[in-house]
A and B are shown apart, each in its own frame.
Chain A
């Protein structure tokens, strides 16, 4: 069975500082990993994905994520946070044999001016 853990309900960071939103996963075989962002009263927007290749994946809005196979992690990062980055972030994972991702519980990112 697939599972995704986001250990932090909320991450607080000051504007201009680097941010990290943590995610670990458990899937059988090679994982397909995703990050999504949800702004208030909006659907989920795709940020980035890892399927194969470089462990560091770059995505939208300056976000990047690092795939670490040994630690089964896929943490979301950004070198310099913006207030407008404040939103709910979801990590998701799927196994090679499934098109249906499993979502983590979400992490609320709050960027303070």
Chain B
């Protein structure tokens, strides 16, 4: 298993501001991902955080809005920029270990409310 610490656990932010979410893993992992879970909906993959290179974004998500850093194999940040109320969601960090056991492990999530 993997222990993932994600912070902040929740925040209330003013529109137009930015919030940076941190994700710390207790061991080195190659694959780290960021998801968004909008109210009452499933998880949507935002991007794959690549160590040492630019993140790989899914359709509908762009770097200017969701810049991601991955300075090493145990840490990543996701910034939600120029926030609007539509960005109110739970943001989740996830890792998957390579090999046969492919289950994803998740941080506890960051519940963001934009007012």
Chain A residues near B (Cβ < 8 Å): 32, 34, 36, 41-46, 49, 51, 90, 92, 94, 99-101, 103-106
Partner of A106, one of B42, B102, B104: B42
Instruction: Take A43-B6, A100-B48 as given contacts and tell me if A34 and B92 are in contact as well, using a CB distance cutoff of 8 Å.
Output: no
Q: Evaluate contact between B31 and A42: CB separation under 8 angstroms.
A: no
Partner of A42, one of B43, B104, B109: B109
Chain B residues near A (Cβ < 8 Å): 1, 4, 6, 31, 33, 41-43, 45, 48, 92, 96, 98, 100-109, 111
C-alpha gap A105/B107 in the complex (Å): 19
C-alpha gap A43/B31 in the complex (Å): 18
Instruction: Take A90-B43, A100-B33, A100-B48 as given contacts and tell me if A43 and B92 are in contact as well, using a CB distance cutoff of 8 Å.
Output: yes
Measured CB to CB, the closest approach of chain A to B22, in angstroms, equals: 14
| B101 partner residues in chain A, CB cutoff 8 A | 49, 51
| A44 partner residues in chain B, CB cutoff 8 A | 43, 92, 104, 106
Q: From DSSP, what is the main secondary structure of chain B's interface residues?
A: strand
C-alpha gap A105/B42 in the complex (Å): 4
Q: Evaluate contact between A49 and B103: CB separation under 8 angstroms.
A: yes
A-B contact pairs, 10 of them (CB 8 A): A32-B102, A34-B103, A36-B104, A43-B4, A43-B92, A43-B106, A43-B108, A46-B105, A100-B45, A101-B102
Instruction: Take A32-B102, A49-B103 as given contacts and tell me if A41 and B111 are in contact as well, using a CB distance cutoff of 8 Å.
Output: yes
The chain B residue sitting closest to A98, CB to CB, is: B102
| A90 partner residues in chain B, CB cutoff 8 A | 42-43
Q: Evaluate contact between B104 and A43: CB separation under 8 angstroms.
A: no
Q: Evaluate contact between A43 and B107: CB separation under 8 angstroms.
A: yes
Instruction: Take A34-B103, A103-B43 as given contacts and tell me if A42 and B108 are in contact as well, using a CB distance cutoff of 8 Å.
Output: yes
C-alpha gap A100/B95 in the complex (Å): 9
C-alpha gap A94/B104 in the complex (Å): 11
Q: Evaluate contact between B104 and A46: CB separation under 8 angstroms.
A: yes
